[in-house]
Amino acid sequence: MGWLMSWILVVPSFVSQPVVPQPVVPQPVPTATAQTADTTRPSLAQTTVGMRVRLPGVPLPGTLLQAVEVHDPGKADALLRVVDAEPQGDGFLYEFEFTPYVPGSHDLRDYLERVDHSSMGNVPSLTVVATAVLPMGRMEPNKVVAERPGRLGGYRDQMVLAGILWVLGLFLIFYLGHRNRQQAAQRGAKEATTLAQKLTPLVERAQRGELDDAERASLERLLFAYWRERRGLHGLRMPVALAQLHEDPEAGPLLRQLEVWLHSPGAGSGSVDVAKLLEPYLHAPENYAPMLGETLAGEGA
């Protein structure tokens, strides 16, 4: 019975004491986007996710660097653009534009490559630290804008320009050559025109009685000067030389017929063969017409 009494005494004392809840200390819950930036290495700049940062005056050794091509900018961790590159010493002085899209430390070497695809072993670490904290008043990061990297060099543009100039020069050579050949052919055709061809319209008009006094006088002087030159009659007076030419078997027919047409219009004009009258003039010496013009310029009536 003694143990039963002890149990009865213990139970009331146990039940009579109220249970006091212990305070719970809240523990920090890590988020999916919170990352601790790597501060063990010096960084070129610090920015926030989605905020573009410009990095001017970055000297790097070796051959020219360019941004690695990004096939899908919407899924990229960051975008890097080479704004400018100027030769300096054994390398180049660069200006970069960097936009991170995930927090953490970004090494720009991961977004660069040599233009000549050589090794990048001598390029130092280029760290940009990005945090996930947006500035006050901003609800979302900048939209992803894939900008085409600037064109470096210009060799292809120079070759295209040289090709255009070459084609243009070739066209001018062919065009000018063709035009010169046409002009030479026209000059040759003019020089090849016979005295008979020059006389034909005048003789036909004389046959129809359409020549005025000045034209009749010019035609007579032209024929007289031509045959005096051909027959060597410079030493004779004009009436004597003209009388001899009237009896000449080649000069006489046209001279006599012109006198009939000029002084007796319409007399037998329909039965005269003009082509036969002009046969002696078909084989006039080459370029005789210009020489004849000079002779007529100083000839008196």
Token readout for 156 is 């292809």
Q: Give the pairing of strands 53-61 and 91-100.
A: antiparallel
Mean pLDDT value of segment 247-251: 85
Q: Compute the Cα dihedral for 247, 248, 250, 256 and give only its sign.
A: negative
- In this prediction, residue 81 carries a pLDDT of 92
- In this prediction, residue 164 carries a pLDDT of 93
Token readout for 165 is 């100039």
Question: Is 106 within 8 Å of 100 (Cβ atoms)?
Answer: yes
- In this prediction, residue 71 carries a pLDDT of 86
Q: Is pLDDT above 80 for 96? A: yes
Question: Does 151 or 78 have the greater pLDDT score?
Answer: 78
Residue that the structure tokens 């988020």 belong to: 31
Mean pLDDT value of segment 145-171: 79
- Angle between the N-to-C axes of helices 252-263 and 238-247, in degrees from 0 to 180, rounded to the nearest 10: 110
Q: Give the pairing of strands 65-67 and 53-61.
A: unpaired
- In this prediction, residue 66 carries a pLDDT of 92
Domains of the chain: 45-134 (2.60.40), 195-297 (no CATH)
Beginning with the edge strand found earlier in the chain, give each strand of the sheet holding 91-100 in spatial order: 53-61, 91-100, 78-88
Q: Is pLDDT above 90 for 82? A: yes
- Report the alpha-carbon distance of residue 24 to residue 149 in Å, rounded: 56
In the structure, what pLDDT confidence band is assigned to residue 219 with cuts at 50, 70 and 90? confident
- In this prediction, residue 285 carries a pLDDT of 65
Entry pTM = 0.34
Mean pLDDT value of segment 93-107: 92
pLDDT tens-digit map of 251-274: 888 888 887 877 666 555 557 787
Q: Is pLDDT above 70 for 22? A: no
Q: Is pLDDT above 70 for 36? A: no
Burial degree of 109 (CB within 10 A; 0-12, 13-18, 19+): middle
